[in-house]
Structures are given as structure tokens and as C-alpha cells.
Amino acid sequence: MLLLPLSALAQTRVTMPKNRYKVQDDIKLGADASRQVEQQFPILNDPQTQAYVERVGERLVAAIPAEFQQPAFNYQFEVVNARDINAFALPGGPMYVNRGMIEAAKNEGEMAGVMAHEISHVALRHATAQQTKLNNPLNQILGIGAVLGGAILGGGTGAQLGQMIAAGSFLRYSRDYETQADVLGARIMADAGYDPRDLANMFRTIAGESGGGRGPEWLSSHPDPGNRFQKINQEAGYLNVSPNPIKITPEFARTRERLSGMQRARSMAEIERDYKGGNTTARATANGRYTNSVPSPSTQYRIYRSGNWIQMNVPSNWEELSGQNDITFAPQGAYGDQGITHGAMIGLHRSPGGSFDRATQDYVEGLVQSNGYLRQQGGFSRTNVGGRQAYVTTLGGRSPVTGRNEIVTVYTVPLRSGDILYFAAVAPFDEAFRYDSAFRSMVGSIRLNDQ
């Protein structure tokens, strides 16, 4: 011990928590939750930003101390197109970094600090260790909400979104586990060439976002951000930090510049609202970009089929964008993180019970609720779609994307399951004449076989 530097003796010791679950349980848990994330969160479709975040992540993973390395874990990194300062990691390695966190970071070290903290939760197997401590069945945390509690910030909307998506109860990491992740994260940062004080500075930013030193009440299981700032700075003094740590790199500056030039990202609260309102379209189209010149529908059509139960014609120059319960068809320049400005959506709406009339009203009310600028322009009229009695109604309002009046024509068709098929056609009011023929052709071509 006399040969060890005094700083090594002062470092806070981190030990792997007791865990009665197998490493493969972490991997399965993370894989299951990751599939939910990919469905429910808008992943940023920007290869350059993605590649940069992956490189930073790989650098940090390589610096995980040997005693906490898990060869079976597969650390992967994705960017969520949300403006909140946040990040979260799933057991086994999948990690999601909010675009807002990158934009809030003053240098690469601050971004890397958040990532190192989340990587530490994974390396220490905190999700299954927490279940071991609580002596609860593992299946109670098979959902996103179970692991969002380990987010660097989360926030009230993060907690709500987790509860909304997860089937089980919302589980937050204990104060001890959050402190462990801070300490191990600081060590990983130092070994990777960063200054742990940058992670401390990020907590100061978080405290500012919360309106003071304390975060919201739901953060009661997390250490106070102000205390974390002091603790990490103290820990940094015990570590072998480079005299010239990684700070503002050319890649970091270029990435920040790219993000600032993109369409404003939605907040987690807005994502939650869209989910509750059934607006899966906003998630499916989030990776597009709006333009002022949207091409007219092609007069040539292709056939869209989903299994054997539905078939319809779609303009050949419209793209196919899949959501969780719906599919959107739209031309380039007509879709982005706030849905579509031109095109059509078709999908299933789960009936709340009762009649076709009630199910139709329920769907339209949800559509209006999740698109606050829309208002129903009249009642429901009877029509025929796919050889079945159907309803049609019209919504209208000033689009927040184009600033122009928009018209949405909604068709609903009863299915034998009791649910409804909906078809919503969207276009600016002053361009509706250019889209009318395409919409009528699409609706008229619908064929159903839901025996």
C-alpha cells in the first residue's frame, strides 16, 4: 500500500451490487425494452450525428474498468430527437441520448459525462440489482418505465412517459446506485481522456433547468444535483485526469452546428401527448424534413398490401412510413417531426367498446386532441369504403408547420373485430384540388379481407 499514490487510496470504492439474476437476463430485458423505445420515441435519422455519438460511446466503453466489463453486453448508441436534457441506458447496453442534451452541452466532455454515467448503470447491472434488492419478479421491470428512472435527468415528463409505456410499476434507481454511477462515471471519464468536472458542470445545468438546486419531487430518489456537483468535483481530485482533457473537438462543434440547423425537436411532454392521443404518425415521420415545394401526387399508382387483409393504391411518388398502429404515405418535403402536411394516414383504432358510431367519435376526438389546431367542420356523413358502410367527416385549421389553412378528410370503416379502420387525407386548403383525385383513388381502391 505504501507504493500506491495517496489519490488511489482516497478514491471512492465501487463494488458490484448483489445480483441474483444472470447476465443474460439483463440482455433480454434491454432488448425487449429497446424494441419499445424504437417504436415509441422519435429516433434522429442523421448518420453523421449518429456516427459521432457512437465514436464517443465506444471510447467510453473501452475505459470501463476490467472488473466491470461484461463481454456479452452489446453497447449501442442512438440519438432521440427530443429537446429535453436527458439520456438513458437499458440493461445489456442499448443507450439513448436526447438531442437536447447534446445541444445543452458546452463541450464534448459534458456530453461524454452524461454518457459515462448511463454506461455505469449498465456495467454495474443496476436494473437487475435493484430487483434483487426489492425481491420482486424480473417481469415487473420488462418495460421502458422501469429503466427511465436511471436517466441523467428524466424530469416529470420522463417519469410519466415511462409509466405510460411500461406495463408494470415505475422503478427508479436508489440514491446509492445513482451515486455509484456518478463515481464510476467519473473514473471512466478520466480513463477515457475527459475531465470528470465536466459531468459535474452538467449537473449544474440540470439544477438550473429545475429552477434551483432541487429537482422536481419525483427526483427524491436521486441525489440533489447540487450535492452531485460537489461530490464529482471532489472525486475528480482523486483521479488521474489529463492535464489537457478532451473538450471542444471539431466533431462536437460540427454536430452542434448540424443540430441547430434542424427543425426544432419536440419535448418529451409533446411526445407523451401524441402517444396518449394515438398520434403515432408524428413518431413515424419524425426523421423527415419539411420544404416549401412539395411535388404533386403522381398519376401512376403502386399497390400497397398488408398481409392478406388490406390492399389499396398509392401514388408512386409517395413514401411509406410505418408507425406502431398506422402507416403514412407522403411525398418528400411533406413530413417531419410534427406529422404530415400533405398525404394520407391509414391505421387501426382500438374500439373502447360499444357501437361503430362511438368508436368513430372516439377516434376523431383523439385526433383533434393531439392536433390542437384542428376543429371538426361538420357532422358525419355516410359513405361506402371497401363495400362497407362507412363514415366521413372533415377537420380544418391553420397548420403550425405551414402557417396555412389545412383540410383533413377522415373516413372510418367498421371491422369484424369491433375495431375501426381509419383513413385520414391531409392537404393545405388551397392545394386540395391537386390532391382530391389521388385521395378518391386511394379510398376507392381499398379492399378488405378481415374474416
Tens-place pLDDT, residues 316-354: 999 988 765 678 999 999 998 788 999 999 988 876 667
Among 260, 292, 310, residue at a domain's last position: 260
302: in domain: yes
Residues 180 and 239 in one domain: yes
Residues 255 and 331 in one domain: no
Residues 251 and 304 in one domain: no
- 8 A C-beta contact, residue 18 and residue 129: yes
Please give the Cα distance from 86 to 151 (Å, whole number): 7
Q: What is the pLDDT of residue 165?
A: 36
Grid cell of 260 as nine digits: 441547430
Please give the Cα distance from 136 to 193 (Å, whole number): 39
Buried b (16+ CB within 10 A) or exposed e, 58-67: ebbbebbeee
Return the sign of the alpha-carbon dihedral for residues 185, 190, 195, 197.
positive
What is the Rg, in whole angstroms, of the alpha carbon atoms belonging to the chain? 25
- 8 A C-beta contact, residue 410 and residue 362: no
Please give the Cα distance from 96 to 447 (Å, whole number): 40
Q: What is the pLDDT of residue 426?
A: 96
Residues 48 and 105 in one domain: yes
Residues 226 and 151 in one domain: yes
Number of domains in the chain: 2
Which residues are within 8 A (CB) of 342 and not within 5 positions of it... i.e. 6 or more apart? 294, 330, 331, 334, 426, 427, 428, 431, 435
Question: Domain of 327: which CATH number?
Answer: 3.40.1000.10
Q: What is the pLDDT of residue 252?
A: 97
Among 233, 260, 287, residue at a domain's last position: 260
Q: What is the pLDDT of residue 212?
A: 45
Domain that holds residue 347: 277-448
Across the chain, what does the average pLDDT equal? 82
Q: Mind giving me the DSSP string for 366-401?
A: HHHHHSTT-EE-S--EEEEETTEEEEEEEEEEE-TT
Query: Taking each helix axis from N to C terminus, what angle separates 126-134 and 108-123, rounded to the nearest 10 degrees?
Result: 40
Residues 76 and 157 in one domain: yes
Residues 246 and 194 in one domain: yes
Residues 220 and 281 in one domain: no
Residues 119 and 233 in one domain: yes
178: in domain: yes
Residues 322 and 199 in one domain: no
Residues 281 and 255 in one domain: no
In tens, the pLDDT along 368-410 reads 877 889 999 999 999 999 999 999 999 999 998 899 999 999 9
- 8 A C-beta contact, residue 278 and residue 367: yes
Among 225, 260, 295, residue at a domain's last position: 260
Grid cell of 403 as nine digits: 402557417
Q: What is the pLDDT of residue 275?
A: 56
Residues of the chain with pLDDT under 70: 1-10, 39, 135-173, 207, 209-226, 272-287, 307, 323-325, 351-353, 451
Please give the Cα distance from 442 to 446 (Å, whole number): 7
Residues 253 and 285 in one domain: no
Q: What is the pLDDT of residue 408?
A: 96
272: in domain: no
144: in domain: yes
323: in domain: yes
271: in domain: no
Q: What is the pLDDT of residue 35?
A: 76
295: in domain: yes
